[in-house]
Homo-oligomer: A and B are copies of this chain.
């Protein structure tokens, strides 16, 4: 497990009073100070809309995934781009994660600044200032970093930059598929990358193989892609192309991690390879694509089945009913500025009228029909007891694009009290 250092003592940890979705602050304060104020969602002490995390559900999900990963004897490097919340990274590391996966040099900088010391940047590193950001981080000898290469041009650019500075950059070869995203498609591209790596072997260090199966959507193509990754890894190992032992072999987003775990761990590398999986959305889960994916995993995977529980949605956005202008329509004070809308609109989950003891489940016939920048249209029935000032808690679809709408998310206990605050750094 990577050591989690305390974050540098600078103003990064101060939460500003001008953030949305929090309660009243006289001045900037640290999360611990704010938690001591005892804000409660049901007492209307947060300005809505607010995105909140449920502490018990986060803990459940953290334990669930780590248990699953451990059962396969592989490593977890959760994708941090989902939340970009260093406090959540630290929770993931404390629960046993091997490192944090990220997508950009900027995200890597954020993680390093907050004490993360092992980053798999599952992306190509391109561009002078991006290479410089990583170069400065590599001066910290405790910092372990990997990024991807998939073209000779890119390797040439990395080689020229890092060799000039006397630095060694660790990389994974990315495999891809026709019609997919990045990654070498065929033997010709592979050989061209390997030739470039040979030219720059003092500065660009090949440590393993990476792929992202999520660009495909049927299990048999994914299994074939995984087998190809295993075979390429085996062949390059036989050719002694890797400068790291064990070799790194990495795959898996949030939808197919079980199949990746199964195929890679069955490949028979033993101690010769360290297998690293990168799901990111398990932490907060959702009620859309990831819930569907998880249901399939619980169906097809024997280890997941044995665990007798699944992942739980741990992120909600709460908002007010601001107008009920038509018998079958309520207007909600939440919009595209507050929640993801690209994989389906948020789903009304809880209904709370200030003053009542606790929220009730929202009727199943309530649903959002449209979102604008700052508003949502909710379909209801004429006879529903719903009025202006009522609060609705929405489950969300696509956590990544919900997190990036918020700079601070209160963490709630079972009584809807704020026990912590999580900052994001997008």
Of B47, B107, B109, B331, the residue contacting A133 (CB under 8 A) is: B47
A195, CB-defined interface residue at 8 Å:
no
- Could you give, for residues 2-35 of chain A, a 1 whenever the CB lies within 8 Å of some chain B CB and a 0 otherwise? 0000000011101011111101100110000000
Which of A163-171, A182-190, A225-233, A239-247 lies at the interface with chain B? A182-190
Residues B333 and A183 in contact, CB atoms below 8 Å apart: no
Copies in the complex: 2
> How distant is the Cα of A228 from the Cα of B17 in the complex, in angstroms?
41
A103, CB-defined interface residue at 8 Å:
yes
- Could you give, for residues 385-426 of chain A, a 1 whenever the CB lies within 8 Å of some chain B CB and a 0 otherwise? 001110100000000110011010000000000000000011
- Output the nearest chain B residue to A122 by Cβ-Cβ distance: B374
Residues A110 and B18 in contact, CB atoms below 8 Å apart: yes
Of B128, B320, B326, the residue contacting A44 (CB under 8 A) is: B128
Of B106, B127, B182, the residue contacting A325 (CB under 8 A) is: B182
Min CB gap A172→B, angstroms: 14
Within 8 A of B (CB), among A315-349: 320-326, 331, 333, 336-337, 341-342
Residues A321 and B126 in contact, CB atoms below 8 Å apart: yes
Chain B CB within 10 A, most for which of A109, A132, A323, A331: A323
A129, CB-defined interface residue at 8 Å:
yes
A67, CB-defined interface residue at 8 Å:
no
Contacts of A78 in B (CB 8 A): none
A373, CB-defined interface residue at 8 Å:
yes
Q: A373-B401, A375-B181 are in contact. Are A18 and B12 (CB under 8 A)?
A: yes
Min CB gap A169→B, angstroms: 15
A285, CB-defined interface residue at 8 Å:
no
Q: A129-B24, A184-B325, A325-B184 are in contact. Are A333 and B124 (CB under 8 A)?
A: yes
A178, CB-defined interface residue at 8 Å:
yes
> How distant is the Cα of A374 from the Cα of B110 in the complex, in angstroms?
16
A92, CB-defined interface residue at 8 Å:
no
Contacts of A388 in B (CB 8 A): 124, 126, 151, 153-154, 157
Residues A185 and B326 in contact, CB atoms below 8 Å apart: yes
Contacts of A75 in B (CB 8 A): none
Residues B425 and A127 in contact, CB atoms below 8 Å apart: no
Of B106, B377, B407, B425, the residue contacting A181 (CB under 8 A) is: B377
> How distant is the Cα of A44 from the Cα of B21 in the complex, in angstroms?
36
Of B184, B354, B372, the residue contacting A128 (CB under 8 A) is: B354
- Output the nearest chain B residue to A376 by Cβ-Cβ distance: B181
Of B23, B43, B48, B129, the residue contacting A45 (CB under 8 A) is: B129
Contacts of A43 in B (CB 8 A): 128
> How distant is the Cα of A61 from the Cα of B187 in the complex, in angstroms?
52
A176, CB-defined interface residue at 8 Å:
yes
Residues B337 and A124 in contact, CB atoms below 8 Å apart: no
Residues B133 and A182 in contact, CB atoms below 8 Å apart: no
Contacts of A58 in B (CB 8 A): none
Q: A320-B126, A388-B153 are in contact. Are A331 and B12 (CB under 8 A)?
A: no
Contacts of A18 in B (CB 8 A): 12, 106, 109-110, 113, 425
A-B contact pairs, 5 of them (CB 8 A): A44-B128, A126-B388, A153-B324, A154-B323, A181-B331
Q: Which residues of A contact B (CB under 8 A)?
A: 10-12, 14, 16-21, 23-24, 27-28, 43-48, 81, 103-107, 109-110, 113, 123-124, 126-130, 132-133, 136, 150-151, 153-154, 157, 176, 178, 180-185, 189, 320-326, 331, 333, 336-337, 341-342, 354, 372-375, 377, 387-389, 391, 400-401, 404-405, 407, 425-426
- If A127-B389, A337-B426 are given as contacts, then 20 extra A-B residue pairs at C-beta distance below 8 Å, sorted by A number, are A10-B27, A11-B16, A18-B110, A24-B132, A43-B128, A44-B127, A104-B333, A123-B322, A123-B374, A124-B322, A130-B320, A153-B324, A154-B323, A182-B323, A182-B325, A182-B375, A183-B325, A184-B325, A342-B342, A404-B405
